[in-house]
Structure 1
Amino acid sequence: ELEANSGLSNRGVQLLGAGFIVPRQTARGPDTGRKETDAADLGLGRILGLEQHIREYRNGRDLTARPRDVMVIDLLGLSENDVRERYPEVYQHVFLTVKPERDANNRASYRDNWWIFGEPRRAFRPALEGLPRYIATVETSKHRFFQFLDASVLPDNKLVVIAHDDAYVLGVLSSRIHMVWALAQGSRLGVGNDPVYVKSRCFETFPFPEASLVQRSTIRAKAEELDAHRKARLAQHPKLTVTDMYNVLNKVRAGETLTAKEQTIHGQGVIVVLGALHDELDVLVQDAYAWTSALTAQEVLAHLTALNAAHHQNELQGRVKYLRPEYQDACDDTMRNLEMDVKPLAVRAHLDDAFPKKLSEQIVAVRDVLRHAAQPLTSLQVVQSFNGARPSVITDLLETLVLLGQVRLTPGDSGIIRYAV
């Protein structure tokens, strides 16, 4: 794995409770102008602060087919008493629809924390803080495609999320070069033997090119165009799906005859443009790698394997080219090198001290920062209180301390999680 990609990928939340998913009408009520509250109304748009906890939601089928008109109740950061006192309608709904299912679960943590998702991804959420959008792909899918999701959308466990909002990254991931790597590094699943995108092997090991500013700009523009094209076609044709579009594109490229239904999809999806955008993106990304000739899949793998080894050797010598340095290496001088005027976010109590190497000392240091802070801190603010601390290490420590009851979560604006003692 490459340090350059670390801390940016994860699977979405795992609910372990179907009752967390609610129709939009149930969340908001059938008529926001009515005088009496409807029994199905959970209060979204009416109760202050609830918008942080009832959110847009997408799973794998929402991305490959059509999004369902549903939302999800996300109560991470709230205690059972918090939910009951602040949002009684939500508490009753989750108590009746989720708790019975959790009571039958063999795992004590799932039973005891029944109002919270089974796997809420506490450690990964800080990576999404402040991003207007992020990149997502379906973990198991016949066709491997990446797209932007708005930051307001909470991703399901069957989505692999990349915490980056730059279309340059989307473009490289959408290229043939990355597809070849992902197919070789991933696994297969199901009757159709569909490819599985294993984040630890497909993304975290993938060596990005050392692209120039001009190359990044052209890849970025082409990726934005690709993402916009697919979304525009879906918005215009209510029955069209991304899977439909790529099924037809593959048949066209294979020289196969299209059925009448596929001809319709070809027209609605403007498949000629979809194919051209991918072809143009492939050329741009290959140019960024400085590979000039046409390459077979095996040749691409050979080049990428060698590049992975070279990057790894550089990282062993302390030369890490982070994919998102402002998050992954927030305490380094990377931001100053980019001539960004970035102000510190936290009390810099330990900034002159190296982050401890021993786990026991790390725990004491993190709790000390939280104890002396004037207010609850985000994980990034804790990171920036030390010299040399890695975001992934800090989030893991905070997660552990929360589970041990030594640190508590506090909800903040826009659903941002903060920590306090």
Structure 2
Amino acid sequence: MLDQIAAESRLFEAWSDEPWVVDGASVRVSLFCFGQGEDELRLDGKTVAQINSDLTAGSTDLTKAHRLVENKNIAFMGDTKGGAFDVPGELARSWLRMPVNPNGRPNSDVLRPWRNGIDVTRRPRDMWIVDFGSGMSEQQAALYEAPFQYIKEHVFPERTKNRRDAYRERWWRHVEARPALHSALHGHSRYVATPRVAKHRTFVWLDQSVLPDSRIFAFSRSDDVFFGILHSRFHEAWSLGTCSWHGVGNDPTYNSAGVFETFPFPAGLSPDVPAIRYEKDSRALAISTAARKLVDFRDAWLNPTDLVEMRPEAVSGFPDRILAKDTAAQAVLRERTLTNLYNRRPQWLIDAHAKLDAAVADAYGWPVDISDEEAMAKLMELNLSREAIGAGATSGKARKPRNPTPEEARRAPQMRLPIDGGLSTATTKEKSSGNMFGPQEAGAKRTRRNVRRAS
């Protein structure tokens, strides 16, 4: 909506992020005023040259960034289970150790380690999940006796109450199993993951056997170069400039359409280029080396070898378990989380990121000390140029219209300006929409946001 207001009117005063407590609800809001005139432009109480539709004052308006063809089908939201399919690790291991089922298959076919946002930002909780995939029939699933019986007792009662026919009738499957994600990850031994909502924008490696929850975004790449570019300060700044903010902590979010698919990678290192094609590129080698060093240092801090022991899983095909050597070690490890690490930012972490940032800057052809503002301007130029090149690759053929993504649908204009009616009419409309409050005649708007709690 703000995109349309900024295009058709004039934002002259705004507060980008304010706490708001009313009727017991504690949320954060943005307030903005718009209309024609020559009023001085003010953002968060300061005079600025312009106010962009994302309520920033920079000369680079990232809301105008386009989704890039070269970034498509790489980033995926994780699985939405829709019931108590998740089980403690010890229960899963008892099923893994059972004899094969009547179909001659082991329970490992339908059991996977499970990770959500908390497992990434804190420490893995040793949770597993029963996963019958997106195509297994109820009769086929029942042949995995113990896991099936468990979800029949813990999932079936609730799913039979679901209003959606597909969820109710196919109760033994996850509500959104993300088959496209599974297809994209096929052939990879690992993949990159990041929490959808987190205080710090961190990226981690997950083993291909791990099923990511919907609170995680997964990327179907397994090369260190891709990981390193994502974990550079340039992608972090881009993500903060294109994301929304959620939760009590007002933490930044991540998504595929607005954040990842708009981000332009260095030329020749984009996600549509197989890693094998740039494995000898000096730029790629520098990024890869720096990225591996960062991960090695982090892993050594998270799981010091004098505090942990590696133990093979109950059956093959899954990553080794990382276990504390004793209760004293367990107490120390409890505080060794990615969130705590990035809160502290020890010098070795700063240095490791600086080396990675330098390698990525060089890949773009930029000076190492380039400012974030200048980098965003250059990334925006790259984004717009590549969109034009991508559109020209159709050789003049008209593209078939596609359905908008949920993110595009959410951001699509909901009204046309000017809005007819006075205060009472406008207020009634706004209350019915549930996302705006305030006097329409003066052009003042107040939008509620950030009402979801961070994981």
Structure-1-length-normalised TM-score: 0.66
Q: What whole-Å deviation, never above 9, does each CA across 1:184-208 have from its counterpart, x for those lacking one? A: 1111001211000121111111100
Matches within 5 A, 1:196-345: 196-210=253-267, 213-236=281-304, 238-239=333-334, 240-249=336-345, 271-292=346-367, 294-318=369-393
Q: What whole-Å deviation, never above 9, does each CA across 1:236-262 have from its counterpart, x for those lacking one? A: 25221110000011xxxxxxxxxxxxx
Instruction: Find the counterpart in structure 1 of residue 125 from structure 2.
Output: 68
2:392 partner amino acid:
Q
Cα distance in 1 for residues equivalent to 2:130 and 2:153: 14
Secondary structure of the residue that 2:211 maps to in structure 1? strand
1:150 partner amino acid:
D
Counterpart among 100, 103, 106 of residue 157 in structure 2: 100
Using CA pairs under 8 Å that are at least 6 residues apart, name the structure with larger relative contact order, 1 or 2: 2
The answer on whether the counterparts of 2:79 and 2:214 sit within 8 Å (CA) in structure 1 is yes
> May I ask how many residue pairs the two structures share in their alignment?
288
Cα distance in 2 for residues equivalent to 1:300 and 1:319: 30
Give the direction of change, closer, same or farther, for the CA distance of 1:272–1:46 in structure 2 (3 Å limit).
Answer: farther
Cα distance in 1 for residues equivalent to 2:301 and 2:394: 43
Q: What whole-Å deviation, never above 9, does each CA across 1:49-68 have from its counterpart, x for those lacking one? A: 42121011110000000101
Instruction: Find the counterpart in structure 1 of residue 109 from structure 2.
Output: 52
Secondary structure of the residue that 1:199 maps to in structure 2? coil
Matches within 5 A, 1:143-162: 143-162=200-219
Counterpart among 1, 17, 23 of residue 88 in structure 2: 23
Give the direction of change, closer, same or farther, for the CA distance of 1:132–1:277 in structure 2 (3 Å limit).
Answer: same
Give the direction of change, closer, same or farther, for the CA distance of 1:150–1:43 in structure 2 (3 Å limit).
Answer: closer
Extract unaligned runs of 5+ from structure 2: 1-66, 269-277, 305-331, 402-455
1:136 partner amino acid:
A
Q: What whole-Å deviation, never above 9, does each CA across 1:387-412 have from its counterpart, x for those lacking one? A: xxxxxxxxxxxxxxxxxxxxxxxxxx
1:11 partner amino acid:
M
Cα distance in 2 for residues equivalent to 1:233 and 1:293: 27
Secondary structure of the residue that 2:218 maps to in structure 1? strand
Secondary structure of the residue that 1:55 maps to in structure 2? strand
Secondary structure of the residue that 1:13 maps to in structure 2? coil
Give the direction of change, closer, same or farther, for the CA distance of 1:169–1:121 in structure 2 (3 Å limit).
Answer: same
The answer on whether the counterparts of 1:43 and 1:89 sit within 8 Å (CA) in structure 2 is no
- Once the two structures are TM-superposed, the CA of residue 280 in structure 1 deviates from its matched residue by 0.7
Cα distance in 2 for residues equivalent to 1:78 and 1:155: 20
Secondary structure of the residue that 1:140 maps to in structure 2? coil
Secondary structure of the residue that 1:123 maps to in structure 2? helix
- Once the two structures are TM-superposed, the CA of residue 171 in structure 1 deviates from its matched residue by 0.3
The answer on whether the counterparts of 2:80 and 2:214 sit within 8 Å (CA) in structure 1 is yes
Counterpart among 11, 32, 51 of residue 77 in structure 2: 11
The answer on whether the counterparts of 2:358 and 2:368 sit within 8 Å (CA) in structure 1 is no
Secondary structure of the residue that 2:205 maps to in structure 1? strand
Secondary structure of the residue that 1:90 maps to in structure 2? helix
Q: What whole-Å deviation, never above 9, does each CA across 1:259-293 have from its counterpart, x for those lacking one? A: xxxxxxxxxxxx32211110111111111111126
Matches within 5 A, 1:341-352: none
Counterpart among 100, 110, 116 of residue 173 in structure 2: 116
The answer on whether the counterparts of 2:107 and 2:147 sit within 8 Å (CA) in structure 1 is no
The answer on whether the counterparts of 1:187 and 1:196 sit within 8 Å (CA) in structure 2 is yes
- Once the two structures are TM-superposed, the CA of residue 297 in structure 1 deviates from its matched residue by 2.4
Secondary structure of the residue that 1:131 maps to in structure 2? coil
Higher helix share goes to which structure?
1
- Once the two structures are TM-superposed, the CA of residue 296 in structure 1 deviates from its matched residue by 2.7
Instruction: Find the counterpart in structure 2 of residue 398 from structure 1.
Output: none
- Once the two structures are TM-superposed, the CA of residue 44 in structure 1 deviates from its matched residue by 4.8
Instruction: Find the counterpart in structure 2 of residue 82 from structure 1.
Output: 140
Cα distance in 1 for residues equivalent to 2:298 and 2:394: 38
Higher strand share goes to which structure?
2
Structure-2-length-normalised TM-score: 0.61
Cα distance in 1 for residues equivalent to 2:96 and 2:218: 29
Instruction: Find the counterpart in structure 2 of residue 266 from structure 1.
Output: none
The answer on whether the counterparts of 1:6 and 1:204 sit within 8 Å (CA) in structure 2 is yes
- Once the two structures are TM-superposed, the CA of residue 181 in structure 1 deviates from its matched residue by 0.5
1:169 partner amino acid:
F
- Once the two structures are TM-superposed, the CA of residue 232 in structure 1 deviates from its matched residue by 2.2
- Once the two structures are TM-superposed, the CA of residue 319 in structure 1 deviates from its matched residue by 9.0
The answer on whether the counterparts of 2:357 and 2:368 sit within 8 Å (CA) in structure 1 is no
Extract unaligned runs of 5+ from structure 1: 30-41, 250-270, 321-356, 360-421
Cα distance in 1 for residues equivalent to 2:344 and 2:98: 41
Cα distance in 2 for residues equivalent to 1:318 and 1:162: 25
- Once the two structures are TM-superposed, the CA of residue 123 in structure 1 deviates from its matched residue by 2.1
The answer on whether the counterparts of 2:68 and 2:386 sit within 8 Å (CA) in structure 1 is yes
Give me the CA root mean square deviation: 1.9
The answer on whether the counterparts of 1:172 and 1:285 sit within 8 Å (CA) in structure 2 is yes
The answer on whether the counterparts of 1:102 and 1:110 sit within 8 Å (CA) in structure 2 is yes
Cα distance in 2 for residues equivalent to 1:63 and 1:301: 28
Q: What whole-Å deviation, never above 9, does each CA across 1:356-378 have from its counterpart, x for those lacking one? A: x989xxxxxxxxxxxxxxxxxxx
- Once the two structures are TM-superposed, the CA of residue 301 in structure 1 deviates from its matched residue by 1.4
